[in-house]
Structure 1
Amino acid sequence: MATPNKPTPTSASHNIPTEGTAAADTSAEAPRFAQLRRRRIVAHIITTLLAIGLIYLLFHDTLPSRSNTKAWDYTLNLVIGQVGAMIVVSVAIGFSTVLFQTVTANRILTPSIIGFDSLFLLIQTIMIWTVGATVGEEGSIFDHALANYSISAGLMVIFAMTLYGWLLVGKRIALPTLLLVGLVFGLVFRSITGMFQRMLDPAAYMQLQSVMFADFSFVNPTLLMISGGVTALCAIFALLRHRRYDVMLLGRDPAISLGINHRRETIIVLFLCTLFVSSATALVGPVLFFGIIIANASYQVLSTQRHIHTLPLSAGLGIIGLAGGQYALRQLGVEGSLSIVIEFIGGLFFLFLLLKGRTA
């Protein structure tokens, strides 16, 4: 009786990877990993140096030639407020956009898509419509930085946690449905805001315009300290949990299989995004498309989505964009147009990403 053919040691050796083969593959990948690591380090160094250099140019270009004068002191405080606002907004918008894109697994979405900016404008409009532009010598609650920020941020957090927490935990709906609900609420908030704005008197409407558009020219020092403190705490908290967010990049099911409570982490990210957006919006006003630019730029520069790299680099690129844009527009004599330029470029970039994704 014929015996079945048995594989020879020579043929088997071609199918089973040996230790030498694995070592060769590892050694082949080592130079590429080293090159990517050097690239990321260089990217962080260059970004930091550019940000510091542009901030120096802002101070050098704005401050008067003669120091120790009233004009010099006033200008110094003004520039410190502007630069501080740029740093806070860059960190808040950069971190919130990267984290939001992590939980949504989409690079063209921002927290603005679920109505955070629209809710802030609605709160400000109702506040000034209720209490008026100015009440008495001390002004209304709209003019009080701490009270205004506390009410706005508090209502935004309550709304986000109540609605989105209930939808995610109670109803257990899918994330695309959550985004659709947020989009509808954003449209509703804009419609209600427009209705209340039509009922404002001209003086109140002029004061409301100060929060309707991003403005880095005059920053409230008290509000800057509050927003900066909240943003710094949230940023540190996010950086300490960067490994969890790296696992969430794999998707919902793989993250759960690796021990991540995906639903709880999503709610935490939404909470952080609420605080980030409320801090930035209360400080300078709504900035819709700025996050898309700096978040996607950080992905392209680093060639990775690891949060320990993308979070700080997105903030650094934001500082470069704001400080460089402010300096360039100041040289052109149109300093107050920074928010308009950001929204214009961001809108074009948003359309580019949509068309690129469609063709891909």
Structure 2
Amino acid sequence: MTRTLTGPAVPTAEQRATRRRRTLVVLAVLAVAAGAAFLTVGVTGSWDYALMMRSRRVAAMVVVAVAVAFSTVLFQTVTNNRILTPEIMGFDRLFVLIQTAGVFFLGAGTVTSTDPRIRFAVEVVALVAFGAVLYKTLFSRTERDVFVLVLLGVVLGAMFTSLTLLVSRLIDPNEFLTLQDLAFASFNTVDQQLLVLSAVVVGIVAAAVWRLLPRLDVVALGRDTALGLGVEHRRVVNRALVAVAVLVAVATALVGPITFLGLLVANLARQLLGTHRHAWVIPGAALLAVLALLGGQLVLEQVFGFNSSLSIVINFVGGIVFIALLVREPRQ
């Protein structure tokens, strides 16, 4: 009598797709539940006023989550490295330098009293111009230029940090407190007009990127493979990088820098969904980002009663994950 030894059944493509759909549905339900809890838990006084203010914060978190998810996944695809994020290019440090220079040259009172739309426009233009100059200057027909781009971004980020420290030492101590509020991400003082504008820009860019997803799946296989399959690698990469620059600039100018949020949600989305296809990973990363922002802020405010910025906690946890990924990367 003989026995046939068989291994575990391999899920079919349809079964894997069903599991991923269920995962996204669960994440969506959790995100909606977190949003409902954020809107209603701990409300005192006028419900109309509380819901109006909190709904604005929820909308800002959703806009930032979508921008962070798209930009991080796209950037990791272009660089073919899952431990890199757009923030490593120095966008967040340039944002802090802009705030520091504004307070130093104009004064904290002038900066805070300036029309938010003017400040938003200046910050977005500066950040997009920075990214555009980097991409236009360095990109040629070789894949190696991506790594030169990343290296230059690290160097420029360090330079921006040094300039920020130098200028901050020359600022009046009283104005330095105002600068600290401007330099950290905050969802408490989002201007409604800027929120609408940011949502429109993020929506347009996200819709344009969505059409590139099939080609980005091929680009993720490598430059030679993409060219062999008929994909215009350079054009797709350039479009993706322009989208990354715009999304990061809008999100950072709207609420401030959140350095490691994208690293967390992009890698967790790939783990949960078990795929690298952008049509699955990007929605998963966006839902995880919404859940992290809403749930984290809710817990921080209602459970622990902290008044500190959520970005501090996210950057702390993200830094630990970043180190863990660096340690594991050579073994993969």
Aligned partner letter, 1:309: W
In terms of mean alpha carbon deviation, does 267-276 or 316-325 score higher? 267-276
1:326 aligns with 2:297: yes
The Cα of 1:100 is off from its aligned counterpart by: 0.3
Match of 1:44 in 2: 24
SS class of match (1:336): coil
| Cα offset, 1:43, TM superposition | 1.0
Larger Rg: 1
Q: How does 1:100-139 map to 2 (within 5 A)?
A: 100-135=75-110
| Residue of 299, 305, 308 corresponding to 1:336 | 308
- Structure 1 residue 287 and structure 2 residue 258: aligned? yes
How big is each residue's C-alpha offset from its partner over 1:132-170, in whole Å with a ceiling of 9 and x where there is no partner? 2224xxxx4873221111111112212221232121039
1:194 corresponding residue in structure 2: 165
> Which whole-Å CA distance do the structure 1 matches of 2:182 and 2:71 have between them?
20
Alignment of 1:1-360 (within 5 A): 32-64=12-44, 71-135=46-110, 140=111, 143-169=114-140, 174-329=145-300, 330-360=302-332
Letter in 2 for 1:109: L
> Do the aligned partners of 2:90 and 2:156 also contact (CA within 8 Å) in 1?
yes
CA contact (8 A) 2:138 2:148 kept: no
1:246 deviates by: 0.8
The runs of 5 or more residues in structure 1 that have no matched partner are 1-27
Cα distance, 1:222 vs. partner? Answer: 2.3
113-122 or 197-206, larger mean C-alpha shift:
197-206
- Measured on the aligned residues, the alpha-carbon RMSD in Å equals 2.0
Moved more, 48-57 or 227-236: 227-236
C-alpha deviations, 1:296-344, integer Å up to 9, x for none? 0110111111111111111001111111111222222115342221111
TM-score by length of 1: 0.84
Instruction: Using the TM superposition, give the Cα deviation of residue 199 of structure 1 relative to its aligned residue in structure 2, in angstroms.
Output: 1.7
Q: Matches of 1:197 and 1:171 in 2, distance apart?
A: 40
Residue type at the aligned position of 1:92: A
- Give the Å deviation of 1:354: 1.1
CA shift digits 1:228-279 (9 cap, x unpaired): 2211111111112111111101101111222222222222222111111112
Quote the offset at 1:218 in angstroms: 2.9
- Corresponding residue of 2:6: none
The one-letter amino acid of 1:184's match is V
Aligned match of 1:23: none
- In 1, Cα distance between equivalents of 2:203 and 2:307: 28
Task: Name stretches of at least 5 consecutive residues in structure 2 with no aligned partner.
Answer: 1-8
Checking the alignment, whether the CA contact within 8 Å between 1:167 and 1:173 is kept in structure 2 is no
CA apart distance, 1:122:
1.5
How high is the TM-score relative to the length of structure 2? 0.91
Check conservation: 1:125, 1:193, Cα contact below 8 A: yes
Q: In the aligned structure 1, how far is the partner of 2:174 from the partner of 2:135?
A: 36
What is the distance in 2 between the residues matched to 1:46 and 1:199?
51
For residues 26-51 of structure 1, give each alpha carbon's deviation from its aligned partner in whole angstroms, at most 9, with x where no partner exists. xx97x511210111110111111110
Point out the more displaced range, 194-203 or 35-44.
194-203
Query: 2:131 is matched by which residue type in structure 1?
Result: A
* Separation in 1, partners of 2:26, 2:82: 24
Answer whether contact 2:66 2:286 (CA < 8 A) is retained: yes
The DSSP-based 3-state class of the residue aligned with 1:169 is coil
- Secondary structure of the equivalent of 1:333? coil
Q: Which amino acid aligns with 2:26?
A: I
